Amino acid sequence: MSEVKAKVNAVSPKSTNTQSTNQARPFSYQGRSLACSGVSLESLAQKFGTPLYVYSGDQILERRNLFAREFAGVDHTVCYAVKANSSLAILKLLAQSGTGFDIVSGGELERVLRVSKDAAKRVVFSGVGKQAAEMDLALKAGILMFNVESEAELELLAERAAKLKKKARIALRVNPDVFAETHPYISTGLREHKFGIDIRIARKVYRRAAKKQWLEPAGVSVHIGSQIRSTEPFGSALARVVDLVKQLRTDGLNIRYVDAGGGLGPGRFFVAQAGTLLSRVLYTKVNGTKTFVITDAAMNDLIRPALYQAHHEILPVKQSMSKKTIVADIVGPVCESGDFFARDRELPAVKSGDLVALLDAGAYGMSLASNYNTRSRVAEVLVRNGKTKRIRRRETVDEMLTQEVL
C-alpha cells in the first residue's frame, strides 16, 4: 500500500514506551532542584504561582520530529490530536513545523484556524457527533478530510456540501471489531462501541457515497483505542482495512488515504511527557494507618488518575539530603473521595510548603480541566530554548462567573 497515503495520530510504530527512544526527558534534577529543559521549576512557581502546568516546547518538537523520522519512508501526514492538549501556543508550535491536526469539534477547528489558516488543508475532522454548523465551517475552511462515522452523518454532510457547493473529501471510519487490551473507557474498536461504521457494510456505504455529487470518497479510517501496548491489534485492524481498500479500488474508487488512527501505548506521543503539573503541599496528616499528602492541585486540574486510574510519577521539586520516605495517598482539596493523584505511593518525605511535580501530564491534563468546586483553572507556561513564556494566565473567580445571570 505504498501508494496509499497514511494519516497517523501520534503513534510510533517501533516504540512501545516513552523510555525506549533514548531521548532525554525534559524534567530532570540540576543539582538538587528539578528543572524543565534547564529552567528551575522552583523559580517558575515563585513567578507564576501554583498549581501550574509547565511544558517543554523543545521536547514537543523533538518528539514530533522523532515520530516523523519513523515514517520517513512512507508518504504520510502526521496529525496531532488536538483534544490531547489544545493550547493555542502548542498548536502554533506544531503548525509551524508542518504538522497536521485531528479535530473532533468545530471549536477545535477554530483553534487551529486561529493559529494558522493555512493548516486547514492538513486537518482531519473526526468525531461521532458532527453538527451542520461544524460541517459548514470545515467545508469553508477547505480541510483535508472528513472521517464519517455513520450513514446519517454521511447524508447530512452530502446535504451541507451541496448547499455550499464545496466538495467534501471523505473517509469512512470503519469499526473492524478488533479487541485492544486497554482501559474500557478508551477502547473504541468493537461493535458495541459508539465509534465508526461496521466494516462489513462499509463497501455498500462507499458505493452510496460515490453517487453523491459533492462527496469524494478518498480514504479509509480506523482507530481502535488508546494506550495499547501491543502491535497485534493494529496489525489485525489494518489487515482488514487493506482488504477493504482493495475492494473499493476494484469498485473504481480512488482510495488514496489510510487513516491509521493512534493509540500505541503509552500514546499522547508529542505532549504527554513534555508537561508537568506543579503543585504545592498544603498539609500532611495521618488517619490511623493512612498518611495523606494534601496538595493545592486537585482532580479538576488533572482528572486522569480518578478517571482512568492513570499512573503519574510524583517527584519533589527540591531533593532532600534525607533518605526518609513515606507511603501516602497524594490528594487534592476537592470534596470527593475520588480526588487523588496516587494511592499508597512511596515517595520522599514531604512537608507543608514543599513543591511536587506530577510528571507526564502534558496530555489530557489541562484539556480535561474543569471549574468543579468553583476552582479556577490554572496558568500554563511554555519553556523553549531556555526561555519561559506564560501561555495561559490563571483564571479569576470573576471570569468564572461572567457567563452567569442573576
Measured between alpha carbons, how far is residue 298 from residues 267, 302, 318, 367, 380 in Å? 23, 7, 21, 14, 16
CA 37, CA 386: separation in Å to the nearest integer? 7
Would residue 79 show up in a list of annotated catalytic residues for this protein?
no
Query: What single-letter DSSP state applies at residue 395?
Result: P
Name the strand (E) or helix (H) holding 137: helix 132-141
Q: Which residues pair with 292 in a beta bridge?
A: 285, 329
CA 310, CA 386: separation in Å to the nearest integer? 30
Strand 257-262 to 215-221 pairing: parallel
Cell of 171: 473517509
What φ, ψ does residue 223 adopt, rounded to 5°?
-155, 120
The amino acid that residue 160 corresponds to is R
In this structure, the number of other CB atoms found within 10 A of the CB of residue 339 comes to 20
Neighbouring residues of 354: CB distance < 8 A, sequence distance ≥ 6: 280, 281, 316, 317, 318
Q: Which residues pair with 171 in a beta bridge?
A: 147, 219
The label of the residue with cell 457567563 reads 403
Torsion of the alpha carbons at 328, 319, 298 and 39, rounded to the nearest 10: -160
By residue count, the chain amounts to 406
Q: What angle do CA 95, 224, 77 make, to 5 degrees?
A: 25
Measured between alpha carbons, how far is residue 379 from residues 70, 86, 89, 391 in Å? 34, 14, 13, 8
What is the gyration radius of the CA atoms in the chain, in angstroms?
23
Question: 72, 335, 405, 406: which is the annotated catalytic residue?
Answer: 335
Q: Among all residues, which ones are annotated catalytic?
A: 335
